[in-house]
Amino acid sequence: MALAAFVGLVAFDQRALSRPREEISLRLSPEELDAGFREGIEFHGLYRGEDKVGFMKLERRRDGAGYVLRHTTVFELGIGDGPTRLTVTTTLDEAFRLTRFSADAAGPVTAHASGTYGSGMLDVTLEGPLGPQTRQIAMPDPPAFDFSLAPIATRSDLQTGDRFRFTHFDPMTMSSAEGVVEMLGREEVDVLGEHVEAIHLRQTIAGQPMEMWVNELGEVLREQLPSGLLAVRESEAEATWGLGGPASSR
């Protein structure tokens, strides 16, 4: 029995090691900087004080001339009254502007939302506890989601003190709010055991400020979130430790 268990463990480890590893590194190559984008996956541990309460996974892919971003947030049970898992997938054009999205929430609140943007109009469908709802929302400019804001801001060549305005959209409440990203400067942060130079941004949505530290491609290294939460760039193993194990298949 012990030998069989050992063989099974070795087989499991070999399968895990053979999975494609696409976690992006902290270092940016000249080619990646020139392209202004790179494909791959990054993870962030979510903390409240010293306690880990969840993790985030962001996957970036090219899609023709545009991009697809898939952002998953997993919370421990009992953290607030919202979902324990939220996945948002956005399709963006070559200028990182939203063309369509889908969102799935699971946990105490279960819902699915999807939408498309075009000709100054956002068409949204929400399926949740109150049944199917559809809405058309007039928006002169495409809305943005939190995790796609940093790349937009860094592409705008902001200087210290400059501001970038945007419209934020919450797919689960089908509501929008005006927001601002302000460039605060550059500073070093400790990430994955290294000192990394970062761009310090302040993002404010509906009067709620959040601060983030990103690299030259707008990839988040550290972020202060509402409700006293802190997101820190970590490896997959570290970010998901104690929260259901590796998330590569999620």
Cβ–Cβ under 8 Å, residues 125 and 136 = no
* Residues contacting residue 70 through CB under 8 Å, at least 6 positions apart: 58, 59, 61, 87, 88, 89
Question: Does residue 9 lie in a domain region?
Answer: no
Q: Domain count of the chain?
A: 1
* Residues contacting residue 76 through CB under 8 Å, at least 6 positions apart: 53, 54, 84, 243
Going by C-alpha positions, the residue among 237, 223, 217, 147 that lies closest to residue 191 is 223
Question: Does residue 247 lie in a domain region?
Answer: no
Structural domain including 54 reads: 23-240
pLDDT of residue 84: 87
Total-model pTM: 0.82
pLDDT of residue 81: 56
Read off the pLDDT of residues 58-117 as tens digits, 9 standing for 90 and up: 999 999 999 999 999 998 865 555 558 999 999 999 988 999 999 999 888 789 999 999
Question: Does residue 183 lie in a domain region?
Answer: yes
Question: Does residue 17 lie in a domain region?
Answer: no
When the pLDDT of each residue in the chain is averaged and rounded to a whole number, the result is: 84
As a whole number of angstroms, the distance between CA 187 and CA 17 comes to: 36
Question: Does residue 103 lie in a domain region?
Answer: yes
Read off the pLDDT of residues 137-175 as tens digits, 9 standing for 90 and up: 999 999 988 767 767 777 667 789 999 889 988 887 888
Question: Does residue 90 lie in a domain region?
Answer: yes
pLDDT above 80 (res 186): yes
Question: Does residue 248 lie in a domain region?
Answer: no
Question: Does residue 223 lie in a domain region?
Answer: yes
